[in-house]
Amino acid sequence: MTRRRWIADEVTGDTAALVGEHAAHLARVLRAEVGQEFDIATGDEIRRGTITTISYDRVEFALGKKQGLSLRSTRLSAPRVTLVLAVFKFDRMEWAIEKCTEIGVSRIIPVIARRSDAHLISAAGKRHERWQRIVRQAAEQSRRVAPPEIAAPVKLKNLADEGVLAPGALRVVLAESLAGSEEQTRLRDILQSQSFADEVALAVGPEGGWADGELTWFDETGWVAASLGDTILRAETAAIVGTALALEALR
């Protein structure tokens, strides 16, 4: 039987711990007991962890032997996809964040778009901690070695200041057209034609798509436009399908 994996909040020598709500889920919801064993991701490796103490805000593990390959070598070989995700209705947006984490996205950058609802924009900054919990839980559920980084929301015009994309990264915005282009290019075709790229940044707009001025900004900053096909997808569906296609192309 596969052991459940936890991503440690604290690691000191041969001891690791979960703290706060992270610990409470294991202690209260799953009713863990002293002596139970789990796989513990410690940052550089995965080790067998045996629970030594439990409280509702802290669970400590004695770390045993290493499990499998080192996380450093695993990270170096993993495909790198950054999802630039416009802020839209939180329940659907957070579902997309969870599922894109499960399939292997490297980083998620929530972006405030012109068509993001005003009340969502005002509340987005307060959701960052919740989004961090979502990616950690999804990473543990899917047995990833670490969660993706999820940035605090930024305005689109400030995206270049984030400095998160490698110089050679392929940058693709999902949109029907850019700067007056009359032809749609499929994302799959772009990914196949750029097989030399080792990192992809994928931008997904809110419901209603990117505004014209935003498309001009993408065009001027070196992004290429792509579509996912002839049907119009919800933003969360586009994010998941696009991320899956990009990850598959990089593998």
CATH number assigned to the domain comprising residue 11? 2.40.240.20
Helix and strand numbers (H, E) in the chain are 8, 13
Bridge partners of residue 172, in order along the sequence: 202, 224
Percent of all residues in the chain with a pLDDT value above 70, rounded to a whole number: 88
Q: Whose CA is closest to 7, among 53, 47, 35?
A: 47
> Looking up tokens 């935003």, which residue turns up?
214
Q: Which of 70, 95, 119 is the last residue of a domain?
A: 70
Judge residue 217's burial from the number of C-beta atoms within 10 Å of its C-beta, 0-12 exposed, 13-18 middle, 19 or more buried: middle
Q: Whose CA is closest to 53, among 34, 70, 66, 39?
A: 34
* 224 and 102 within one domain: yes
Q: What average pLDDT score do residues 92-97 get?
A: 97
* 124 and 30 within one domain: no
* 209 and 91 within one domain: yes
* 111 and 189 within one domain: yes
* CA dist., res. 75 & res. 78, Å (int): 5
Give the confidence band of 185 by pLDDT, cuts at 50, 70, 90.
Answer: confident
* 88 and 61 within one domain: no
Question: How many domains are contained in the chain?
Answer: 2
Per-residue pLDDT at 1 exceeds 60: no
Q: What average pLDDT score do residues 225-232 get?
A: 88
* 106 and 52 within one domain: no
Q: Which of 36, 70, 104 is the last residue of a domain?
A: 70
* 83 and 48 within one domain: no
Q: Whose CA is closest to 32, among 65, 67, 4?
A: 4
User: What is the domain extent for residue 126?
Assistant: 78-250
* 140 and 22 within one domain: no
Whether 246 and 208 have beta carbons less than 8 Å apart is answered as: no
* 87 and 62 within one domain: no
* 134 and 243 within one domain: yes
Q: Which of 70, 87, 110 is the last residue of a domain?
A: 70
Q: What average pLDDT score do residues 226-250 get?
A: 92
Report pLDDT for 182: 53
Rg from Cα positions in the chain: 20
| Strongest mean pLDDT among 29-33, 75-79, 181-185 | 29-33
* 57 and 87 within one domain: no
- Specify the CATH number for the domain of residue 197: 3.40.1280.10
* 165 and 48 within one domain: no
